[in-house]
Structures are given as structure tokens and as C-alpha cells.
Structure 1
Amino acid sequence: LMTIAPNVEKSEENRKNFKKIKKISVDIIEKNYDNIEVEFLSMGMSGDYTVALEEGANLVRVGTGIFGKR
């Protein structure tokens, strides 16, 4: 499951979005659908990955943090 949160000034502003996506992932897992496996929860980018990790992300995208701005 992957989300890209809104571009905000303060990463903390996206905490509520990350919480919602985490809840959706838990709901999907608990329903135990056939042929659906939620192994990764991809939330957060260079500017907000710490909040995303705190809210349950196990995959983040930090391209700008590594390569710099385009």
C-alpha cells in the first residue's frame, strides 16, 4: 500500500494522513481477503519520513534527501 501525502510546510501536519492510511492497511489485513497481501506500507518522503515511520511506514522514499532537489 502506498500513499503520497500533501506537500506541507511542517511534516507533523501529515501525521493525520499517515494514521488514516495505517488504519486502512490494518483493516485490509484483518479482513484477510484472498490474494491480497499487505507486506509494505509506503508512506513518507524526504521531508516527512520520520513522522511516517512513527505512524507505521516500513518503506519510505527519500530521493531528494539523497540526490538533492531537481
Structure 2
Amino acid sequence: MSSLKENEQVSEEEIISFCKYRLTRFKVPEYVEFITELPRTSVGKIQKHILRIWHEEGVKNI
């Protein structure tokens, strides 16, 4: 997972076309969700279970 540097922008279409060029067809995402910050533990690891909950609930632009 990666984040953009300050004052950079990217669209969903740009990410998907980037993936189409570099990945096999079945691995290319159908859509992209943007969030402002990843949930992390006190150690700094990404809390993937929280991301799954957000995805199931349809939370966007957190």
C-alpha cells in the first residue's frame, strides 16, 4: 500500500490502467477506494481487519 506525496493527485482510471499494464487480467482491480489515512496499531502495522470492516460497511473517504 502506498500514499501520494503532498500536492499529487491520481484518478481511479489511472490506477486501473497502471495495473492493466503490469498485472495479469484476473488480478486487475475492478474499482479503487481512496482513504485519507490507514488504520494502524500502536506499533505501526496496518490493521487489515479494520479495512475489511470499512469495505463491508461501504465506508468511503475516511
TM-score, normalised relative to structure 1:
0.30
Report which structure shows greater RCO (CA 8 Å, sep ≥6): 1
Task: From the two aligned structures, give the one with the greater helix fraction.
Answer: 1
TM-score if structure 2 supplies the norm length? Answer: 0.31
Q: Which has the higher strand share?
A: 1
